[in-house]
Amino acid sequence: MINKKIAFLGAGSMAEAMISGMAESGTIAKENIIVTNRSNQDRLNSIHEKYGVRTVLKDELDFSEVDQFILAMKPKDIDAVLADLKDKIQPNQVLVSVLAGISTSYMEERLNENQQVIRVMPNTSSMLRESATALCPGKYTDMEQVQVAKELLRAIGEVFVIEEDKMDVFTGIAGSGPAYFYYLMEHIEETGRAEGMDSETLREIGAQTLLGAAKMMLERDESPTELRENVTSPNGTTAAGLDALNANGGGRAISEAVKGAASRSKELSKEIEGLLVGAK
């Protein structure tokens, strides 16, 4: 068990997914997880009741007791948060950000010299401890603190330490990725319903198919291409399905989804840095 205290700044859906996974994992004691937001006490009460973690409004947080802060607000709120944190956070404390598009250097430049920061990209499967999470440390972050963050994040799934210049594409693949699979399922369910099947059964069938394919990719040595070929009998049903996918731009649509999300991640950084006209 990790004997550190962490504080979430922001208690929205991503924070809740992480809190839920961490609270269940036994990696960190629930009383060492503190959750804050600006003003929504009802939301904090609900998180406390569901997960047994400590909750306080942000202005009531005792900063001195926290080892790692986890920033989990929207990217547009980052400047206000960093300005507020600058003189409160101590050199031995670490700022871990899950914000899409916010670079480690952006945070470092707005905090005191040599501040330890870590950029992370989880996904909402954190809730079931099945996230694919990326991590990259800033320039001044101790390896020991990186290890602590890694161990904590392992409580919510698999952790990949990557170069920061890969963070945008990682966001496009894994941060946003669950949404693509849900979208796929929405269409599968819709098609099955049109053929008279009920939604509940379809959900189970679709999810089990996805889970089986995911496990095949993780546990077998074959590449996705080989696995696909094994399903595809000559002149059979899969070949017909794949032909329809190709004819309708299925492969291209998937690539474009990843590229679109990655490019939005880049764009978010520019908007925040005020380099883009019409920034919000």
Ligand X SMILES: O=C(O)[C@@H]1CCC=N1
175 interacts with ligand X by CB under 6 A: yes
Chain residues that interact with ligand NAI, rule: CB under 6 A: 9-15, 36-38, 58, 72-75, 77, 80-81, 98-100, 121-124, 175
Residue type, 200: E
* Contact in structure between 175 and 160 (CB atoms under 8 Å): no
Nearest to 46 by CA among 59, 55, 34: 55
Give the whole-angstrom CA distance, residue 104 versus residue 99: 11
Q: Report what 4 binds from ligand NAI, ligand X, none; CB cut-off 5-8 Å by kind.
A: none
Q: Give whichever of 67 and 267 is closer to ligand X, judged by the CB atom.
A: 267
Residue 10 assigned to a binding site: yes
The per-residue DSSP string of 41-95 comes to HHHHHHHHHHH--EEEEGGG--GGG-SEEEE-S-GGGHHHHHHHHTTT--TTSEE
Q: Give whichever of 59 and 195 is closer to ligand NAI, judged by the CB atom.
A: 59
Stretch that binds ligand X, among 4-12, 159-167, 170-178, 245-253 (CB under 6 A): 170-178
Positions in 89-108 near ligand X (CB under 6 A): 100
Stretch that binds ligand X, among 111-119, 168-176, 186-194, 245-253 (CB under 6 A): 168-176
Residue 13 assigned to a binding site: yes
Give the whole-angstrom CA distance, residue 35 versus residue 65: 13
Give the whole-angstrom CA distance, residue 116 versus residue 112: 9
| Shortest spacing between CB 186 and ligand X, in angstroms | 17
Residue 22 assigned to a binding site: no
Query: With CB under 6 A, what is the number of residues at the site for ligand X?
Result: 4
Q: Give whichever of 89 and 120 is closer to ligand X, judged by the CB atom.
A: 120
Strands 6-9 and 33-37: parallel
